[in-house]
């Protein structure tokens, strides 16, 4: 998920937001969660707290689908899943909430995930949001969360998420996986080191391996997501004494597992974010005249994000304009059309994914030509 996009409007007001909440809070089935409750360190009190809590999963790929399903099955009271992308065949190898029909229809990941999660557990409130997390909307997205789980696919947005959660003192669980290795760390703002305590800034673009260049095995995303959810359950059940103080790394191919105690990195006053209250990624301003384009991991595609605007994007107007190109289809979630051998998917917020190229500059040019500058 990229870190720059137009400001998202309130969830209830945007067509890209899909939410479904039970008409009334149903009573939870005691038998359903009995095996979880039998675990002494969790118990009935932990289950009761879990049922009253809210979790947010940002990113619904390999990590996010596993994490969201586990939380839903565990009985978290309210679950919000956020993702910007659509399902394709390459996702099915590891993204457990999707199937071939989702890929055939190219459904938004958040929407497809929401349908599966509601079928898994109708006792909890499931909300989904098709959106690109950026400095303009991240604080609204995490608002009211008792814990946030990282299912992201890029480093810059993780630093943005760290800023938002530290600023609002929301616990979050960092996780990442690539190739056969992954790592995770739990962040309790004000009590444990945050991401910027360990890494002062995000690495330069192009210096970190991606799923496109290094691949990714399904077992590592499942393992890291499981570790993330275990930490989230401790937080939601009020068992903070059980939180791991370690940055844990795992390689499922070599079998190597390492755990580094990061508590010494927590030095009040020195960290730009949790020590000095300086939220560089959250406060970052971008040129309001600039359309941002970037290659999308593993897609052979470019995502183009229009500049922030107070005016609502004319999604239906664009749909009518591109009908003359042929091979155009539109529904409430997206508009698809083809031009110059490229396949365009445009979302109601004006964001577009152009498949068939990997040149951001070319992507900006095509966007200006067919969608608008």
Asked if pLDDT for residue 217 goes beyond 60, the answer is: yes
pLDDT at 158 (0 to 100): 94
pLDDT in tens, 320-343: 888 888 778 998 899 999 988 899
11-265, which class in CATH? Answer: alpha beta
**Average model confidence (pLDDT) across the chain:** 87
User: Rounded distance, CA 84 to CA 142, Å?
Assistant: 16
Asked if pLDDT for residue 241 goes beyond 90, the answer is: yes
pLDDT in tens, 284-317: 654 444 567 777 765 688 988 887 665 778 888 8
Higher model confidence: residue 252 or residue 298? 252
pLDDT in tens, 27-38: 567 799 999 999
- In this prediction, residue 156 has a pLDDT band, given cuts at 50, 70 and 90, of confident
- In this prediction, residue 24 has a pLDDT band, given cuts at 50, 70 and 90, of very low
Mean pLDDT of 114-123: 97
User: Rounded distance, CA 42 to CA 38, Å?
Assistant: 8
Q: What does DSSP say about strands 17-20 and 147-150: parallel, antiparallel, or unpaired?
A: unpaired
Element of type H or E holding 161: helix 155-167
pLDDT at 16 (0 to 100): 46
pLDDT at 371 (0 to 100): 87
Asked if pLDDT for residue 228 goes beyond 70, the answer is: yes
Asked if pLDDT for residue 10 goes beyond 70, the answer is: no
User: Rounded distance, CA 272 to CA 338, Å?
Assistant: 46
**Domain spans of the chain, in order of start:** 11-265, 292-370
Mean pLDDT of 346-369: 88
Of 32-36, 121-125, 224-228, 315-319, which gets the smallest average pLDDT?
Answer: 315-319
This prediction has a pTM of: 0.82
**The CATH number of the domain covering residues in 292-370:** 3.30.310
Cβ-defined contacts of 200-207 (< 8 Å, 24+): 200/272, 201/159, 201/280, 202/155, 202/156, 202/158, 202/159, 202/281, 203/155, 205/156
User: Rounded distance, CA 17 to CA 35, Å?
Assistant: 34
Mean pLDDT of 82-92: 92
User: Rounded distance, CA 287 to CA 307, Å?
Assistant: 8
pLDDT at 208 (0 to 100): 65
DSSP of 91-158, one letter per residue? Answer: GTTT-TT--HHHHHHT-BHHHHHHHHHHHH-TTSEEEEEE----TTTHHHHHTT-SEEEE--S-HHHH
Per the CB < 8 A criterion, the answer to whether 187 and 173 are in contact is yes
- In this prediction, residue 25 has a pLDDT band, given cuts at 50, 70 and 90, of very low
Asked if pLDDT for residue 175 goes beyond 70, the answer is: yes
Residue located via tokens 């909300």: 127
């Amino acid at each position: 998920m990229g870190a720059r996009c137009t400001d998202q409007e309130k969830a209830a007001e945007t067509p890209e937001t899909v939410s479904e909440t039970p008409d009334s809070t149903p009573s939870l089935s005691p038998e359903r969660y009995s095996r979880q409750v039998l675990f002494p360190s969790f118990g009935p009190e932990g289950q009761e707290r879990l049922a009253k809590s809210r979790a947010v999963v940002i990113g619904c790929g390999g990590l996010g689908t596993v994490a969201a399903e586990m939380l839903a099955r565990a009985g978290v009271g309210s679950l919000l899943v956020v993702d910007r992308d659509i399902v394709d065949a390459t996702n099915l190898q590891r993204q457990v909430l999707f199937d071939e029909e989702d890929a055939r229809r190219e459904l938004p990941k958040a929407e497809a995930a929401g349908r599966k999660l509601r079928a898994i557990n109708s006792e909890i409130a499931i909300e989904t949001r098709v959106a690109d997390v950026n400095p303009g909307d991240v604080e609204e997205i995490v608002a009211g969360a008792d814990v946030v789980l990282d299912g992201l696919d890029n480093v810059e947005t993780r630093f943005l998420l760290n800023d938002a959660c530290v600023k609002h003192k929301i616990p979050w669980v960092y996780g990442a996986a690539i190739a056969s290795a992954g790592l995770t760390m739990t962040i309790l703002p004000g009590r444990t080191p945050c991401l910027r305590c360990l890494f002062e800034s995000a690495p330069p673009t192009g210096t970190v391996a991606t799923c496109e260049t290094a691949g990714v095995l399904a077992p590592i995303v499942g393992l890291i997501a499981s570790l993330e959810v275990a930490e989230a359950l401790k937080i939601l059940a009020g068992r903070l004494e059980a939180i791991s103080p370690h940055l844990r790394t795992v390689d499922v191919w070599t079998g190597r597992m390492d755990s580094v105690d990061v508590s010494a990195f927590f030095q009040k006053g020195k960290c730009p974010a949790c020590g000095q209250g300086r939220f560089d990624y959250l406060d970052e301003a971008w040129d309001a005249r600039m359309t941002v384009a970037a290659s999308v991991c593993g897609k052979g595609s470019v995502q183009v994000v229009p500049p922030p605007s107070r005016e609502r994007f004319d999604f239906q107007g664009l749909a009518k304009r591109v009908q003359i190109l042929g091979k155009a289809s539109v529904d409430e979630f997206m508009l698809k059309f083809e031009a110059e051998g490229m396949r365009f998917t445009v979302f109601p917020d004006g964001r577009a994914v152009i498949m068939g190229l990997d040149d951001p500059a070319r992507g900006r040019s095509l966007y200006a030509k067919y969608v608008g500058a």
